[in-house]
Amino acid sequence: MPEQDLELEISTANDTYAFPGSLVVEIRLTNAGRSPLYLYRYGLEVGLQLYLEVLDEEGHTLLVPPLVNVEPDLSRDHFLELAPQQSWVLTIDIGPMLESGLTWVSPVILVRFSYSGRRYGDYAREKHHINAFSGQVVSNQLRFHLRPQTDR
């Protein structure tokens, strides 16, 4: 079986978050293997294949993000090929999700993402005969200090 080496890294320009407000995060999925790897790209967004997790310093969940419901189109065209060492990058403002979904506000929040190809990877391997990612990968964790937004 071909390799399934996928890396997920997140980054941001700031370690302080003015709540409520904008918090832009870059999400990078990289094929770290030596073979081409395919990702299901139809609806590749937070809430479908990308899952946002926000915790306090004690590890308590602070956010229950909404799930996205789309009717999957599993045609071959909807699988993105990543060559070895190639990345797919998404820049997203998670501020609105935090504003609408935080169950309570902590002075420090920890943010990480996970990506899962479990729903679609096995199907694509069997049906399209491609090395589709069928596992799950978790990103590094970002730490933010929250401060109240004063100019709203």
In sequence order, the 6+-apart residues with CB closer than 8 A to the CB of 30 are 6, 7, 8, 9, 82, 85, 86, 87, 88
Instruction: Domain count for the chain, please give it.
Output: 1
Is residue 1 included in any domain, yes or no?
no
| pLDDT on residue 71 | 74
Better pLDDT: 3 or 1: 3
Mean pLDDT of 17-22: 89
Percent of the chain predicted with pLDDT > 70: 89
pLDDT digits (tens, 9 = 90+) for 58-69: 999 998 776 666
Residue 107 has pLDDT above 60, yes or no: yes
| pLDDT on residue 67 | 66
Q: How far apart are CA 90 and CA 30, in angstroms?
A: 12
Is residue 108 included in any domain, yes or no?
yes
- What is the full DSSP assignment across 12-71? -S-SEEEESS--EEEEEEEE-SSS-EEEE-TT-SBTTTEEEEEE-TT--B-B-PPPP---
Residue 78: CATH number of its domain: 2.60.40.2970
pTM: 0.87
Q: Which domain holds residue 111?
A: 6-148
